[in-house]
Chains A and B, each alone.
Chain A
Amino acid sequence: MSKILGNPRSLAILIICVAVLAVSILGGALGNTLGFGFFASSLPAIQLPAEKVTDGFNTPIGKWDLMNTMVTTWLAMLVLIVISLVIRKNLKDVPSRLQALFELIIEFFLALCEQIAGKEKARRFFPLVFTIFIFIVAANWMGILPGFGTVGRIAGPEEIAHHHDAHDYHDPALMQTTLESKESKAKSHASGETHGDDHDSHLGAVKLHVFRDYKSVPLATLSPGSLEEELTFSQYGENHGNVGEGKRAGHLVPFLRSANTDLNMSLAIALIAMVMVHFWGFSILGFFGHAGKFISFKSGPIGFFVGILELISELGRVISFTFRLFGNIFAGEVLLMAMAFLLPLIGIIPFLGLELFVGLIQAFVFAMLTLVFASMASISHDDGDHH
């Protein structure tokens, strides 16, 4: 300790660290309760479904909207495809560094496949297993880049209300302008009144953030110092949508959100993985060989019941695949947001490392389980069980 205090450079570093910590604590959410909070950012409205970036179009199976997780999915795809093309173009026997890196990873997974599934099946399973791994890693790591979840557009109260199934809510702020148009005056006023009382307490308690309104740029950020004020829906209604000059109330809808924080994505991968696992099962064991595992009359009623249980467990695998990945990554995002809210500037630094690790591990787990399920599905039960 005396050594650290004696050396002027270490002393300076120590003082800076303590100062940053103090600024972070005072400027963050903790200091906000004491009246400081100059660095605090609003805690964003956390919701399970992905947020809509723009309206899409209607399809026979429902409305298709551009979600922020889709954007991230495509970005991750783009990155991977560009890297692949670069490697492909410069493919050499004496590899470049990028090529060597990918060779290393691919070699690792090939060896893993051969170890688990055997030499002949390894080449069959490898592409899917590796695609799952590399895509999930890319998407997860992309999700902790700056700007993810913090830059977006502002969703106004009307959109938020709509999201909460209050279909007839009308934004008092927008109503102000409609009031001026004479024809719809009475009508909209009436509807506003009725529904103002109508919407349930659930919606009334939902908090709105107040953002600076850059009229020309449809952007909002959750940056340090962006915590202005918050008010509930009921308060907003009471104020007639008046939140101050040059300000807008609403929720931040980030343009980018980590792809696997959307159940659609993790469910999609899980479905593809399990469909391919059974496809391999059928193609390697033959139709009856594989189907016989699930619907079997050979070993009496108990065997039939076990087969049904197997069928259910296959469904369970899809669900556990989906929610394991989703849960880990979503929790990571929430953790990062909470830390940025509590201790701005420095709070998320250790957790960024943690998220890198979790992102990698989840990708590896997903790929490994796919591989294990595939090699299990491609082994006949008659051989596998009784030995």
Chain B
Amino acid sequence: MGDLGINLPGLITQIISFVILFVILSKVLYKPLVAMLDQRAEKITAGLEAAEKAKEEAAKSEEAIQEQLQEARSEGQKLVAQARETADRFREEEMAKVREDLDAERSRAESNIQRERDAAIEELRKEFASLAITAAEKVVKTSLDEEGHRTLIEGVLNEEGSRNN
């Protein structure tokens, strides 16, 4: 043993040294550091959990928002459609009314025109007849009997009138 350098005092010195180191390191280094590591692990776990929860909540609220948005959108679309429908109906109605008015106006105008024309034709005819008579008179001044002329002229005018009509 002596040749190997093992001696009892030296061995005991080293054992005591190591035990002292062990005790001091346990007290000073391991205990606080391991406690802190545990604490930190706990904190991180809690933090992760909180983050997970927050994420879930966010997802949930996101979903809700999306839903609301969808709802609002469809509502809006509905509203727009409704408005469009109303507008369409309104326009249709207006158009119909306008068209009616127009039709009435036109028919009135047409009947007016008809009447005017009839009147004008009548007047024209009358005028024409008298004109013809006057013309005939002028012609008759020369010769021919009135009876013969009148039938002639009537015949011509009737012919004319039927062509005009």
Contact = CB atoms under 8 A, between A and B. Distances in A.
B5 interface: yes
Contacts of A102: 29, 33
A56 B3 CA distance: 19
B22 A131 contact: yes
Q: How large is the interface on B (under 10, 10 to 19, 20 to 34, 35 or more residues)?
A: 20 to 34
B140 interface: no
Nearest to A70: B13
A267 B6 contact: yes
A369 interface: no
Contact of A91 (B20, B30, B33): B33
Is chain B's binding surface mostly helix, strand, loop or mixed?
Answer: helix
A262 B34 contact: no
A49 B33 contact: no
Given A268-B11, A268-B15, A106 B37 contact: yes
A151 interface: no
Interface in B1-30: 2-15, 17-22, 24-26, 28-30
Contact of A84 (B6, B9, B11, B28): B28
A268 B33 contact: no
Interface in A24-52: 47-50
A264 B7 contact: yes
B64 interface: no
Contacts of A264: 5-7, 10-11, 13-14
B5 A48 contact: yes
B14 A80 contact: no
A107 B32 CA distance: 13
B115 interface: no
Contacts of B135: none
Given A84-B24, A103-B37, A262-B5, 19 more contacts: A48-B3, A49-B2, A49-B5, A50-B5, A62-B7, A80-B21, A80-B25, A91-B32, A93-B43, A103-B33, A110-B34, A110-B37, A127-B22, A127-B26, A130-B25, A131-B18, A264-B7, A267-B11, A272-B18
Interface of B: 2-15, 17-22, 24-26, 28-30, 32-34, 36-37, 39-40, 43
